[in-house]
Structures are given as structure tokens and as C-alpha cells.
Amino acid sequence: MKGFWAIILKEFSHIRRDPVTIFFTFMVPVIQLTIFGFAIDVTIDNIPLAVLDLDGRQDSRELVNALVNTHAFEVVERPRDAESFRRALTSGRAKVGILIPADYSERLLLREKAEVQVLIDGSDSQVATTALNTVNLLAMQMSVGRARTIGESMQVTAARNERGQASSPIEVRARLLYNPDLESSHFFVPGLIAIILQLVLLFLTSFSIVREREMGTLEQLFVTPVGRMGLLMGKLVPYAMMAFGELLIILVVMQVIFGVPVHGSLGLLLVLSGLYIVTVLGLGLLISTIARTQLEAVQLAFLIMLPSVFLSGFMFPRSEMIAPIRAIGYLLPVTYFVEIVRGVILRGADVVDMVPYILGLAVCCVVILSLSVRRFRKQLD
């Protein structure tokens, strides 16, 4: 134990003089605990719901209100026709669609069975299961309630009701879309594309520049007439190409090993992946303009990676997050790309469906690139 105190005191001197380490030890856990604690809420409510109410009368409104009152759903859209109803689902704006037929009220009045069609996006098995159970349970409750009311008004009781002949007045016909077997791999694997690409690219690009800074080779390059853009593009293009190759490998593995087919257009997927790759390269470049050492680059990359995993919707449904934390997700390009890969691969979404996410990603791309390119100077100060 000789020298124990000497080492301990020395270590604390190091720590005291290194504000970054202090920040990472004390502040980052607090921030992350708060953010992720709010984000990781396993009870699922506020599932985005699209309502196509062809009936529109009191009974159908009651049904919708009852759904909302479960807190499991939140009406995000009330499409007017079948086409926009379908779009609401393929675009991912709504995870559940409820279609109330035009004769819903009549049928109830005539004591015929009223069928309500419920379409559930099966991509996320967690959300889909909750939606399915809630809808079924609600339909049962409403049926029982209605049966009791009618029984009372007719001076009969349900208890001595006939078995087999009667059917519940409201029947929910639920259909799981996109991932009927509710396989969680179908949900996670496409999202993983976004996460893996970001992880690899962020480290590769930021390291490749910061390493040159650490080694002094960047300074040597600054003294040559190499152009700023020449240096920048020369450093980034090889990694963009590697990332694209990596993407192709992941897509093959996804289909062959996990059996997740690409339902939408492969071309669209590749073009948007290209946009994403460029954006993440910019993010890596941004890190390299801030970090002086490879260690700092790792720390900064983690600062981006953690919210990317937890807040982008990759792991936990974003509809569950409280607003300020959901807002953080909007700052991350990966949030938009997770939606894009899931939309195109699982739901067969097309460009029109993806417009908001493509716009979001494009804005991220422009902002990040212009910021990082401006920060990247061919000078030492």
C-alpha cells in the first residue's frame, strides 16, 4: 500500500483540473436520468389515432369519445375519405385507424350487429398489442353496457338472457397491418439501420480528423496549398462510400436473416439513406471541429448517441414522451430517419407519406453541414 495516498491525491488533482471529466461524472448522469426516466415509460398511452367516421352521429361520437377516454389513444387526424385514411397510417402519423361505417347508428338502433373496423400498425408490437387489447376491451364494455340498458328498458335482465343466439351489438374487427405476426424484430431491425449507420459514421469521421489533429499531420496539411473543400471532401467521401456499402450489407442481412422485406421502393430508401449519411458525416465533422483529442471525440459522440437511441423513437415510442423531451428528438437527424426506414421498409410508405420526415432530415442536413463546414477552418486558431 505504499504510495496509496500519493496516488489518490494526485488523481484528485487531475480530476479537479479537468472540468470535462467532472461534467461527465456528475452532470451527464443527472441529465440523462431525467430525460430517459421520462422517456422510458412502459405504460403506453396516447397512441396516435385516425378516425374515419362515416356515420358521424351521436352513437359513433360516443364510441370515439370512449376510445379517447381510455387515454390509450389520442385522435391526431379525422380524414374525410378512404385515401387520406390510408395515408394517415402509411405515413406513420397514426398508429391506429378506426373506420366507423355509415350505418353504424342505424344498425345499433335496429339491434343489428354494428361492425367497426380497426386497423392497427403492427410495426411496433408493444404499441400494437396495447391498441388491440384496449379496443377489444372497450368494445366488450360498450356492448355489455348497451345490452344492459336495452335489457332494463325492456324490463328484462341480462342474466337470464339466451346463450348463443344473441351477439354483442358492437363488434370490433381489428386487423393488424404491416407486421401481422407482431414480430418485434421487424420493428427493431429497420430502426437499427439508422442507429448503426450513425454509430459507425460518427466515430469514423470524427476520429479520422481528430487523429490528424492529434498527430500534427493536420497542421502539416494546413501549411500546404490544399483547399479547404478539397481537404474536407477528401476526408469525408471515403467514409460516405464505406457507409453506403455498409448500408447495403445491413439491408441484405435484414432480409436474409431476419426475413424483413422492403415493402416500399428500394430506390427511395437508398436516396434518403444517402441524405442521412451526408447529415451524419456533417455531425462527425462538427464533433471533430470541437474535440481536440480522440477521447473528447468519444465523449461527444456518446453525448449524441445516447439520446439517439432513447429519444429517437428507436427504442421507445415517441408518442409516450412528454413534450419537452420529445422536442429533443426533433433536433436529431436519426429521429427522422428512423421514421423513414420504418415507413419505407415496413409500411411501404412513398415519398408523399414521408414528406414531413424528409423535410426534417433535410433541414438537419443543411443546418449541421453549414455549421460544421463553417467551423472547419484551415487555420490553427
Partner 1 sequence: MSEPVIRTEQLTRRFGSVLALSEVTLDVPRASIFGLLGPNGAGKSTLIRLLCGVLRPSEGRGFVLGFDIADQAEAIKQRIGYMSQRFSLYGDLSVIENIRFYGRIYGLSHKKQREREEAVIHLTGIGPYTDRLGSKLSGGWKQRLALACALIHEPEVLFLDEPTAGIDPVARRDLWDLLFELSHRGCTMFVTTHYMDEAERCTRVGYIYQAKLIALGNPDELKDSPEVTPPGTRRFEVSCSTPPAALARARHIPAIRDATLFGTDLHVLLDESLSPEALIEQIAPGDRAAAYRPIHPTLEDVFVTLSRRQSLRAAS
DSSP state of 320: G
In the complex, what is the shortest distance from the CB of residue 329 to partner 1, in angstroms, rounded to a whole number? 37
Which residues make beta-bridge pairs with 96? 49, 120
Stretch that binds partner 1, among 72-80, 118-126, 313-321, 372-380 (CB under 8 A): 372-380
| 366 lines the binding site for partner 1 (CB under 8 A) | no
The residue among 32 and 208 lying less far from partner 1, judged by its C-beta, is 208
The whole-angstrom separation of Cα 217 and Cα 226 is: 13
**H or E element, residue 210:** helix 184-215
In the complex, what is the shortest distance from the CB of residue 359 to partner 1, in angstroms, rounded to a whole number? 38
The residue among 41 and 219 lying less far from partner 1, judged by its C-beta, is 219
Cell numbers at 366, concatenated? 443543411
| 378 lines the binding site for partner 1 (CB under 8 A) | yes
Q: Which of residues 198-237 bind partner 1 (CB under 8 A)?
A: 215-217, 219-226
In the complex, what is the shortest distance from the CB of residue 256 to partner 1, in angstroms, rounded to a whole number? 35
Handedness of CA 62, 66, 183, 115 (dihedral sign): negative
The residue among 167 and 217 lying less far from partner 1, judged by its C-beta, is 217
The residue among 211 and 326 lying less far from partner 1, judged by its C-beta, is 211
Cβ-based neighbours of 104, under 8 Å, separated by 6 or more? 54, 55, 57, 59, 60, 63, 114, 116
The residue among 164 and 225 lying less far from partner 1, judged by its C-beta, is 225
Site string for partner 1, 321-340 (x = CB under 8 A): --------------------
| 380 lines the binding site for partner 1 (CB under 8 A) | yes
From the CB of residue 248, how many other CB atoms can be counted at a distance below 10 Å?
11
The residue among 213 and 318 lying less far from partner 1, judged by its C-beta, is 213
The whole-angstrom separation of Cα 280 and Cα 286 is: 10
Which of 197, 193, 175, 177 has its CA nearest to residue 185? 193
The whole-angstrom separation of Cα 313 and Cα 339 is: 8
| 381 lines the binding site for partner 1 (CB under 8 A) | yes
Site string for partner 1, 21-60 (x = CB under 8 A): ----------------------------------------
Cβ-based neighbours of 61, under 8 Å, separated by 6 or more? 53
Which residues of this protein are in contact with partner 1, per CB under 8 A? 215-217, 219-226, 378-381
